[in-house]
């Protein structure tokens, strides 16, 4: 199975292609799509789309994994991130590549065992797994982490033969038994 992981962004879009062969992870390629800072937003989105299409054509992935949306404090930044994410989803759809989405906490949990791990911890784990000593940008390591997360989820699902239940936060519901009489 070959997976293209994407860490979308309107200024820098990281990507990483990994393949799983007989339980071994193989790093095929990774990098960043960095549109010129002089480009307008539509031109940057076009450059990201074209860059991702080239990566898809070069690597012919079986699936794309991408970070799911999150709620940001800055609405303008969140909108731009959503637009870049939409362009990545479009590139996959036009190429006929199925897309799988993961929350950043799921990715961190799958790699480090902690959903609130920092970027450095995630990079260290990826470096150990793939033997890559240094990452040029965190966008690249994030994209590779998303690809590893999908491979882990997919292989676990194939082994168990069931859908993996993702943890969700639930509010505590109080009952009468919780209070003393």
Over the stretch 120-138, which tens digit does the pLDDT of each residue have? 999 999 999 999 988 889 9
Q: Tens digit of pLDDT for each residue in 5-49? A: 999 998 999 999 999 998 899 999 999 999 999 999 999 999 999
Q: How would DSSP label each residue in 113-142?
A: S-TT--HHHHHHHHHHHH-----S-HHHHH
**Which domains does the chain show, CATH number per domain?**
2-164 (3.30.420.10)
Identify the three-state secondary structure at position 112.
helix
pLDDT of residue 16: 97
Residue predicted with more confidence, 65 or 73: 65
Catalytic annotation on 67? Answer: yes
Residue 32, burial from CB neighbour count under 10 angstroms (0-12, 13-18, 19+) = middle
Given 54, 67, 134, 163, the catalytic residue: 67
Mean pLDDT of the chain: 88
- Which of 121, 134, 139, 178 is flagged as catalytic? 139
Distance of CA 75 to the CA centre of its chain: 21
Alpha-carbon distance 181 to 174, whole Å? 15
From the list 7, 43, 106, 177, the catalytic residue is: 7
Q: How far apart are CA 142 and CA 98, in angstroms?
A: 20
178 in catalytic set? no
Question: Would you call 139 a catalytic residue per the annotation?
Answer: yes
Per the document, the length of the chain is 181
* Nearest alpha carbon to residue 51 among 109, 90, 99, 108: 90
Say if residues 131 and 3 touch (Cβ distance below 8 Å).
Answer: no
Q: Is the pLDDT of residue 72 over 70?
A: no
Evaluate whether 33 touches 47 at the Cβ level (below 8 Å): yes
């Amino acid at each position: 199975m070959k997976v293209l992981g994407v860490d979308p962004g309107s200024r820098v879009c990281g990507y990483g292609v990994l393949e799983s062969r007989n339980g071994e992870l193989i790093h095929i390629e990774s990098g960043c799509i960095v549109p010129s800072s002089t480009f307008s937003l539509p031109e940057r989105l076009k450059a990201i789309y074209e860059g991702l299409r080239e990566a898809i054509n070069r690597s012919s992935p079986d699936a794309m994994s991408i970070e799911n949306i999150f709620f940001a404090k800055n609405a303008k930044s969140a909108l731009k991130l959503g637009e870049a994410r939409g362009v990545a989803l479009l590139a996959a759809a036009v190429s006929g590549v199925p897309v799988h989405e993961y929350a950043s906490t799921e990715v961190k949990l799958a790699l480090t065992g902690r959903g609130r791990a920092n970027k450095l911890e995630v990079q260290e784990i990826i470096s150990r797994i793939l033997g890559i000593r240094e990452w040029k940008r965190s966008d690249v390591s994030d994209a590779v982490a998303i690809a590893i997360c999908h491979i882990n989820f997919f292989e676990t699902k194939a082994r168990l033969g069931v859908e993996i239940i993702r943890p969700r936060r639930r509010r505590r519901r109080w009952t009468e038994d919780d209070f003393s009489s």
